[in-house]
Amino acid sequence: MIDPQTLINQIPGATIIAGAPGRVNLLGEHVDYNGGIVLPIAIDRRVYIAARLRADQKMNLHALDLEQKVSFNLQDLPVRIDVNGKPLPVWALYPAGVAWILINKGFNVNGVDAVYSSEVPIGAGLSSSAAVELAFAVLWQSLVGWEVDRMTLAQYCQMAENQYVGVNCGLMDQFASAHGVARHALYFDTRSLDWRPLPLPPGTAVVVADSGVRRELANSVYNERRTSCEKAVELLHSHLPTIQSLRDVSPDQLHANADLLSKEVYKRARHVVEEINRVNLASEYLLNNEVEEFGKLMFEGHQSLRDLYEVSCPELDALVEIASGLSGCFGARLTGAGFGGCTVNLVAADKADDFIRKLKEGYFQKTHRKAEVYLCQASRGAYTENIPV
């Protein structure tokens, strides 16, 4: 874990430290682009930035983990070049994109000297990019002193990733990083933007297991799945004229109109409709502290992602299968886009260490791969702290 003092020591005269968490989604996978409901938590693994404000429009960034530095001027943001006229490196597009969108929205953004490091593993599906974006957003908010609500700030960061970086992500990642609540999951309606914290069961911990498989196929398959969902709505509309998305279709309505859809489109739609229903059930289980029932929904969600949405892979299936046989595990499933990345497990806190050891051992025996496994707790969202002089 990162000691923020290490970063502060890199920037003489640093005045502020910003932190923003990654996220993991407990339930509600592949429903955000269908107007659905998701249930993420912000995790206690964060991006940290130490910085000082500059009097000019120059950005000096040092990505400590990558051992890379870049300098660029804010007036050059539209052309994405550094002070030497070279294209900005990909890692710098995220903070640059946040500055670009904030300036476009009319906010003052000054130059900074900043060094940052991340506890959120890159490429594992835990939203390291959203954590970087939110950390820089709250950094500028605190340094310059303008006001904006957290949902709007999350939306600006999503716009930065969509329009500047060129990644077509939904809002869930930035929302969770901005709004995290310690010891709570976040029930988030991606259509209305309404949300509320729901208490996680006492005596439980969240374990995230990284399969080590990266999602090379995710983008093309993501587009195919999204197209199938849109096709389902188009075909169902003749019998259900009021629907706008699969969010508006009940499981009974989908089953009754299954003959309108091809086998593949029906499978994709069934996952989305039933997954949204699982999130609603899960919220009631959390409110009533019914941890076993909640865990069953996680296992059901994985089965649906594997068999209906077909976005799992043998390594993720192995992690879930091993977890299901270990003492103290209430539920497990893949989290994120699929085809690699991580699983999320809800386990009894007093058995978490034993669970992690046996999950690692079992995964290596089954796949000859090593899994990085993280013990996590639900965490607060992005924040800043002034550095004492």
- Per-residue pLDDT of 34-51, as tens digits, reads 999 999 999 999 999 999
Tens digit of each residue's pLDDT (9 = 90 or more) over 168-181: 778 999 999 999 99
Q: Read off the pLDDT band of 215 (50, 70, 90).
A: low
For residue 138, give every residue at least 6 positions away whose Cβ sits within 8 Å of its Cβ, in sequence order, or none.
18, 20, 153, 382, 383, 384
239-256 tens-digit pLDDT: 999 999 999 999 999 999
**Quick check: is 65 catalytic?**
no
Q: How far apart are CA 163 and CA 161, in angstroms?
A: 6
CA dihedral 249, 251, 270, 265 (to 10 degrees): -60
Say how far apart CA 334 and CA 348 lie, in whole Å: 19
Q: How confident is the model at residue 337 (pLDDT cuts 50, 70, 90)?
A: confident
Give the mean pLDDT of 287-304.
Answer: 97
Q: What is the mean pLDDT of residues 337-353?
A: 94
Residue 242: name the closest of 251, 253, 258 by CA.
253
- Dihedral of alpha carbons 118, 121, 122, 128, sign: negative
Instruction: Say yes or no to pLDDT of 52 above 90.
Output: yes
Region of 13 on the Ramachandran plot (φ > 0 left; ψ -120 to 50 alpha; else beta): left
Q: Tell me which of 3.40.50.300, 3.10.20.580, 3.90.550.10, 3.30.230.10 is the CATH number of domain 4-199+379-386.
A: 3.30.230.10
pLDDT of 122: 74
Catalytic position from the list 44, 113, 173, 210: 173
All residues at 6 or more sequence positions from 46 whose CB lies less than 8 Å from its CB, including other chains: 2, 19, 20, 21, 22, 118, 119, 120, 131, 135, 379
Determine how many CB atoms are found less than 10 A away from the CB of residue 234.
11
For residues 222-231, average pLDDT: 90
Q: Is the pTM of this model over 0.85?
A: yes
